[in-house]
Amino acid sequence: PVKAAAKTSTSATQTTATVDKAQVKAFKEQVEKHLRTTIGTSPVKASKLAWWQAVVATVNEDIFGRLTDTQQTHAKNDTRAVHYLSAEFLMGRLTINNLTNLEKFDVAREALKEFGLDINEICEEEPDMALGNGGLGRLAACFMDSLATCNYPCVGYGIHYENGLFRQEIRAGKQVERPDSWREYGCPWEACRPESVQNIPLGGYVEKQTAPDGSQCSVWHPSSMIKGVPWDIPVVGYRGSSVAILRLWESRSTEQFNWDVFNAGGYVDAQAEKSLAETISKVLYPNDSTEAGKELRLTQQYFFCACSLRDILRRYKRSHHNDFSEFAAKIAIQLNDTHPTIAIPELMRLLIDEEGLSYDQAWDITSKTFNYTNHTLLPEALEKWPVYIFEKLLPRHLELIYEINFRFLNGPVEAKWPGNNEIKSRLSIIEEGEVRKVRMANLCVITSEHVNGVAKIHSKLVKENLFPDYAQLWPNKFCNVTNGVTPRRWILSCNRGLAELYNDVAGKDWPLDLDKCEVLKKYADKKEYQDRFMKIKHDNKVALAKTIKELTGVEVDPNAMFDVQVKRLHEYKRQHLNLLYIMSLYKSLLEDPDQDIVPQVFIFGAKAAPAYTLAKDIIFAINAVGEKINNDLRIKGKLKVVFLPNYRVSLAEKIIPAADISEQISTAGYEASGTSNMKFSMNGALTLGTMDGANIEIVEQAGIENNFIFGLSVDEVLELKPRYNPWDYYNADHDLKAVVDWLDSDFFTPGQPGALSSIKTSLLNNGDPFLVLADFASYKEAHQRAQKLFKDKAKWARAAMINSATMGIFSSDRSIRDYAENIWTLRSQIVKK
Ligand code: GL9
């Protein structure tokens, strides 16, 4: 029973909840105290940055106490803990999220209001922690939130990059990359832990020694040492349940330049070595789904894995001395993609060379400790490191990899397929060829207890298409854990209007049990609830329209349909399919300006890898087409196209709640899961997408009739691909031909004919590898369905509400419980104060 259904908030980010006066007063006093005694300023002269710092200092008082309680609980209970190794954690901003999770947001907002300040403006001072590229890094961040919220013992381990993902500027329509120095003025959330510094050996050579009993052993003489300095970022669980730790390693030089063989060449050489050591954590590689193939990148991977494993061993030894028999029972390690694979031979090395275990003992422990998540099937993303780089940087690790490989090929493989060298060469960790390479994914699969994909369809393809031989050998190793996203950040913090609606219909516990939101389905046919739902959406659109105006100067109408595609720029994600459709719509409007179409705003946000030329050309094309359309008076504002620069977590939080249409249009079989698709749907956008990744599971929940599905299926793509000829589609479809040819003119780039031709070339002369032309007609038809439904406000509202209401399974709490129960065997721990 709910009272005033049409009660609405005054703005997209304000709630009408009543706030405890005493708490507001206390918060205010704390902020003012910190402003004076921590920051060293006063309310009259404080800058916004100073206010923000004082707010963080206030929040930190709550956090660090709970962190200690959490760690003591876990140490005392001594149950298994998971160690999530990831080269990327895309945390975004922490202030609003931490306030929300501590249930202090309203208090803080009121307290700041009494100082005459707007909390949202103050929180804009916080730089995003952009220590990741896209979905994979953001997933790790959502998982930390859920691990803390669900009270699982855990540590996240990663790299303390000095520069996160580049800041994107758009100049004359083109992407320009600028460094992102997110902690130039310090980051008030992090704490340095000098007591846990690690020294990491690198380079040099391996010496064979014969022990007195005649057995052979290897002694590694590294050529240099790098210091790893840990920075801890507390991750607050919802309602302060527990506080997890994200530990990020920064590289520094050590004084020990003369390590064994390194012969100091004097002061200058020593300084050169110093800068090399400090380069390791300098910058995040801006690749998305492509392998970097740089020596520095392998060094980064090894550096953070080696630091993390020493840290894990140190903690384990604190309670278990030097007996490793319980190691695997206490420690689970999750490899987030192949980036941290080098942790496998490093653990072997530590156990054998440093702790004196036998090879068999070390392997037994290692193979019960690791699990691996695969995030992509794209062959160019599967990491392979040349053997010669290993010889130079990690000679002892290479030796251990050879040993693992030898025992694998001559053990289980020989037993299953006796004498079959073809299978052996396929399954080998080493790829033979002109340049011999180490296949990191093979090492992961051979070692791990469990290998999982990130959506049902993807896990099936991992098992059947990527690793079919391994699946024959170990069918039970392969499993699925569908991705999820945290409803605390992606509904509660970023869409307060919707959060209030859920508070009213589902009670206040829905952020801990997103299935509760399903009750909204019951109200999906009721006019007053439809009105309230759409009013929330409208308010969010008004707020986004303001942001669009500020960022691009383009004026958009909040009554238009907001059609959004935000994600990394990649051919397989097909932003150019979207663009071709926009061009065809524009063309038809020019032909008949009075036609009755729904006014539409197409919104893009995307960073391209700096070396990915075609991706950058597509960004330029979107901007060029947008410029023309937005200034063409003939179409009477029915169509707008905006490209929002520097897409990142904090911008996603403004865009996603305001979307009507969520574009999820990857070629079927290529998007492992997608995670923004879930965020959009939770916030009441309808998916216009292919049957790919988690889209399939989304429509399974929300109903295919409440979304706009189009295009070839995975099976159809696999069937068509070998005989695909894009010219057939081009020649058969007048409209398609016209828009593809339009790219060749100078219509959108006056005076620069051919400026957009590379896109046409990729679609026709380079074979259209992602079947853009094959899906064009079907895509257009899906858009027509969307337009038709948008005209019927009641039906649209109903579909949007059902989408939002049925996303319970996409809470990252569900994903984390799946991992905890099926992969890590973890038990949730109640934290005592
Ligand atoms: C990705 C997949 O491409 C996505 O479909 C998936 O949702 C995420 C999380 O599992 O992982 N794999 C991948 O390499 N990236 C993904 O987003 N790219 C990066 O973020 C580096």
pLDDT tens-digit profile of 775-806? 999 999 999 999 999 999 999 999 999 999 99
Nearest CA to ligand 1 atom 14: 289
Q: Which atom of ligand 1 is nearest to the CA of 693?
A: 5
Q: What is the pLDDT of residue 10?
A: 36
Q: How far is ligand 1, taken at its centre, from the CA of residue 375, in Å?
A: 5
Q: What gap in Å lies between CA 758 and CA 744, rounded to an integer? A: 9
Q: Is the pLDDT of residue 12 over 60?
A: no
- Residues contacting residue 753 through CB under 8 Å, at least 6 positions apart: 744, 745, 746
Q: Is the pLDDT of residue 445 over 70?
A: yes
pLDDT tens-digit profile of 28-52? 999 999 999 999 999 999 999 999 9
- Active-site residue flag, 568: yes
pLDDT tens-digit profile of 602-639? 999 999 999 999 999 999 999 999 999 999 999 989 99
Q: Do 422 and 531 have their domain in common? A: no
Q: What is the pLDDT of residue 8?
A: 37
Q: Is the pLDDT of residue 262 over 70?
A: no
pLDDT tier, 388 (very low <50, low <70, confident <90, very high otherwise):
very high
Structural domain contains residue 505:
no
Q: What gap in Å lies between CA 683 and CA 208, rounded to an integer? A: 61
Q: Is the pLDDT of residue 4 over 50?
A: no
Alpha helices per DSSP H over 648-694: 649-655, 676-682
Residue ending a domain, choose from 449, 464, 496? 449
pLDDT tens-digit profile of 638-696? 999 999 999 999 999 999 999 999 999 999 999 999 999 999 999 999 999 999 999 99
Q: Do 436 and 295 have their domain in common? A: yes
Q: What gap in Å lies between CA 98 and CA 539, rounded to an integer? A: 24
Lowest mean pLDDT among 59-73, 145-159, 284-298, 325-339: 284-298
Q: Do 555 and 702 have their domain in common? A: yes
Q: Which residue from 482, 573, 673 has its CB within 8 A of the most atoms of ligand 1, so it is best to mutate? A: 673
Structural domain contains residue 356:
yes
Q: Which atom of ligand 1 is nearest to the CA of 287?
A: 21
* Paired sense of beta strands 437-439 and 561-566, if any: unpaired
Structural domain contains residue 827:
no
- Residues contacting residue 528 through CB under 8 Å, at least 6 positions apart: 5, 6
Q: How far is ligand 1, taken at its centre, from the CA of residue 697, in Å?
A: 17
Q: What gap in Å lies between CA 201 and CA 221, rounded to an integer? A: 9
- Which is higher by pLDDT, 280 or 380? 280
Q: What is the pLDDT of residue 293?
A: 74
Structural domain boundaries enclosing 604: 521-811
Q: Do 529 and 406 have their domain in common? A: no
b/e 699-713 (16+ beta carbons within 10 angstroms → b): bebbeeebbbbbbbb
Q: Do 806 and 689 have their domain in common? A: yes
Structural domain contains residue 175:
no
Q: How far is ligand 1, taken at its centre, from the CA of residue 297, in Å?
A: 18
- Active-site residue flag, 375: yes
Structural domain contains residue 733:
yes
- Active-site residue flag, 573: yes
Q: Which atom of ligand 1 is nearest to the CA of 375?
A: 12
Q: What gap in Å lies between CA 65 and CA 293, rounded to an integer? A: 43
C-alpha dihedral over 624, 630, 631, 634, to 10 degrees? Answer: 120
pLDDT tier, 276 (very low <50, low <70, confident <90, very high otherwise):
confident
> The tokens of 79 are what?
């149950």
Q: Which atom of ligand 1 is nearest to the CA of 376?
A: 12
C-alpha dihedral over 669, 673, 678, 680, to 10 degrees? Answer: -60
- Active-site residue flag, 574: no
Mean pLDDT value across the chain: 95
- Which is higher by pLDDT, 73 or 269? 73
Q: How far is ligand 1, taken at its centre, from the CA of residue 673, in Å?
A: 7
Q: Do 287 and 392 have their domain in common? A: yes
Q: What is the mean pLDDT of residues 175-188?
A: 96
Q: How far is ligand 1, taken at its centre, from the CA of residue 674, in Å?
A: 7
Q: Is the pLDDT of residue 249 over 80?
A: yes
Nearest CA to ligand 1 atom 9: 136
Q: What is the mean pLDDT of residues 749-754?
A: 94
Q: Do 654 and 800 have their domain in common? A: yes
Q: What is the mean pLDDT of residues 188-204?
A: 97
Q: How many domains does the chain have?
A: 2
Structural domain contains residue 304:
yes
Q: Do 445 and 526 have their domain in common? A: no
Which amino acid is present at 4?
A
Q: Is the reported ipTM for this assembly greater than 0.90?
A: yes
Q: Which residues line ligand 1 (CB under 6 A)?
A: 133-137, 139, 288-289, 375-376, 381, 454, 483, 671-675, 693
Which amino acid is present at 289?
S
In 3D, which of 93, 280, 115 has the Cα closest to residue 188? 93
**Phi, psi (rounded to 5 degrees) for 223:** -100, -15
- Residues contacting residue 230 through CB under 8 Å, at least 6 positions apart: 192, 193, 196, 197, 198, 247, 248, 249, 250, 307, 311
Residue ending a domain, choose from 405, 427, 449? 449
Q: Is the pLDDT of residue 258 over 70?
A: no
pLDDT tens-digit profile of 344-384? 999 999 999 999 999 999 999 999 999 999 999 998 889 99
Place of tokens 């990899």: 401
CATH of the domain at 199: 3.40.50.2000
> The tokens of 795 are what?
């039906």
Structural domain contains residue 661:
yes
Q: What is the pLDDT of residue 409?
A: 98
Backbone angle region of 684, left / alpha / beta, with phi > 0 → left and psi within -120 to 50 → alpha? left
> The tokens of 595 are what?
């036609």
Structural domain contains residue 365:
yes
Q: What is the pLDDT of residue 294?
A: 86
Q: Is the pLDDT of residue 273 over 80?
A: no
Q: Do 406 and 283 have their domain in common? A: yes
Q: What is the pLDDT of residue 241?
A: 82
> The tokens of 205 are what?
């050579």
> The tokens of 803 are what?
């989408």
Q: Which residue from 84, 136, 612, 690 has its CB within 8 A of the most atoms of ligand 1, so it is best to mutate? A: 136
**Phi, psi (rounded to 5 degrees) for 164:** -80, -160
> The tokens of 71 are what?
């760690």
Q: Report the share of the chain in percent with pLDDT over 70.
A: 96
- Active-site residue flag, 675: yes
Q: What gap in Å lies between CA 246 and CA 649, rounded to an integer? A: 18
Q: What is the pLDDT of residue 255?
A: 66
Q: What is the pLDDT of residue 572?
A: 98
Q: Is the pLDDT of residue 11 over 50?
A: no
> The tokens of 81 are what?
């803990």
Hey, how many other C-beta atoms are within 10 angstroms of the C-beta on 633?
7
Q: What is the mean pLDDT of residues 750-773?
A: 97
Q: What is the pLDDT of residue 599?
A: 98
> The tokens of 69 are what?
């309680």
Degrees to nearest 5, angle at CA 614 with 612 and 620: 110
- Which is higher by pLDDT, 257 or 779? 779
Q: How far is ligand 1, taken at its centre, from the CA of residue 376, in Å?
A: 6
Q: Do 260 and 405 have their domain in common? A: yes
Q: Which residue from 166, 287, 376 has its CB within 8 A of the most atoms of ligand 1, so it is best to mutate? A: 376
Place of tokens 């013992």: 153
Catalytic residue among 675, 690, 749, 806: 675
Q: Do 442 and 534 have their domain in common? A: no
Q: How far is ligand 1, taken at its centre, from the CA of residue 573, in Å?
A: 11
Catalytic residue among 104, 567, 574, 760: 567
Q: Do 415 and 536 have their domain in common? A: no
Nearest CA to ligand 1 atom 21: 288
Q: Is the pLDDT of residue 286 over 60?
A: yes
Q: What gap in Å lies between CA 765 and CA 618, rounded to an integer? A: 17
Catalytic residue among 247, 396, 573, 616: 573
Nearest CA to ligand 1 atom 15: 136
Q: What gap in Å lies between CA 128 and CA 141, rounded to an integer? A: 13
Catalytic residue among 74, 160, 247, 568: 568
- Active-site residue flag, 679: yes
β-pair partners for 234: 245
Q: How far is ligand 1, taken at its centre, from the CA of residue 90, in Å?
A: 12
Q: What is the pLDDT of residue 320?
A: 81
Q: How far is ligand 1, taken at its centre, from the CA of residue 704, in Å?
A: 24
Q: What is the mean pLDDT of residues 46-68?
A: 96
Q: What is the pLDDT of residue 261?
A: 44
